[in-house]
Chain A
């Protein structure tokens, strides 16, 4: 399948308009692989034929499917184990102290892909019964890919997916085999995460004020201006003493003034407003 510059321009424009993400040069080689099964399923003989249908707008759902296919949904359970533990042990402990009265936390996994990150948090909390006794932890997970969100809601993972990063003890505690190498997360954990199809360019989901936001390995696909706009949006959605966690290779330094490196937890970020805003509870 020949992928011409004109085709790349159309696909890049579609992807950016729908998701804010760029079709970086490093991802262009994936176009052929990414679209091959979609073209076969829908009976397109050539990429030009597919693009013709997209441009004509004859089938709006086709654009969604193409965008879904172009997105990189790579993720796994407990991705980057050390920073994840720092979040669960360090940052969550600090927040539990700060929220000891209301015993309520809100977490947003922004760009959650197929749900492994959100479910990793939900499983950890479920496994630490004593620590979280009496707490309400609201986990919201969003992604622009309808396909990814559908899989996340189903909680159905292949043998490869379920093994990546997930300790086997947790796997047999929370998953059941469904045959043909598929494993389904149990209802108790699935019910702890609210999934929503949503772009990072949209307004934050309810409740709109989060104690922890995870936005990992997504913003690297955005151009600088869009990335900065997303950081601004995230800063408006985070509690003044909340924490932002990015992917292992990502940073806010030089990208945005909305967040600064946490003084307590390496690799985790705090909203800049934390340094300038006096919380209502301590002002009294």
Chain B
């Protein structure tokens, strides 16, 4: 069973994502901002991170840059999941090391196909 860390300041989004991911046979952990996500990663590095962009305390982009600078044996796949749905944001995310990008709102099929693309589903 693969591990997915869902990072989003919206409890509703985390709940929806958790439900979809569990039906896709993922073990799900949650964090409500980038800083908490870094702590979760220190405790247990997930296989994939589903990452919101705009969050208090630490944004998704700051989290991603910090994560990618770390020297770790195996970097997780990172899939942005955000309402920032323009090409400028998408390009910036890819340049910072994101593996995939989900534009909100999303559905089960979209999420599943993106997880397949990054090779974790």
Contacts and interface: CB of A to CB of B under 8 A. Distances in A.
B87 A163 contact: no
Nearest to B100: A168
B87 A177 contact: yes
Nearest to B91: A172
Interface string A147-181: 00000000000011001110111011000110001
Contacts of B114: 163
A134 to B, nearest CB: 30
A181 B94 CA distance: 20
Given A164-B113, A167-B100, A159 B94 contact: no
A167 B100 CA distance: 7
A172 B90 contact: yes
A163 B110 contact: yes
Interface string B72-108: 0000000000000111001100100000111101110
A168 B116 contact: no
Nearest to B90: A172
Interface residues of B, number: 19
A259 interface: no
Given A163-B110, A177-B85, A177-B86, A169 B94 contact: yes
B109 interface: yes
Nearest to A165: B113
Contacts of A177: 85-87
Contacts of B113: 76, 163-165
A160 B94 contact: no
A160 B90 contact: no
Contacts of A181: 85, 103
Contacts of A172: 87, 90-91
B16 interface: no
A171 B93 CA distance: 14
Contact of B85 (A81, A159, A176): A159
A169 B101 CA distance: 9
B36 to A, nearest CB: 26
Contact of B103 (A81, A159, A167): A159
Interface of A: 76, 81, 159-160, 163-165, 167-169, 171-172, 176-177, 181
Interface of B: 85-87, 90-91, 94, 100-103, 105-107, 109-110, 113-114, 116-117
29 contacts: A76-B109, A76-B113, A81-B117, A159-B85, A159-B103, A160-B106, A160-B107, A160-B109, A160-B110, A163-B102, A163-B110, A163-B113, A164-B109, A164-B113, A165-B113, A167-B100, A168-B90, A168-B100, A168-B101, A171-B90, A172-B87, A172-B90, A172-B91, A176-B87, A177-B85, A177-B86, A177-B87, A181-B85, A181-B103
Given A163-B106, A165-B117, A177-B87, 5 more contacts: A76-B113, A160-B109, A163-B114, A164-B109, A177-B85
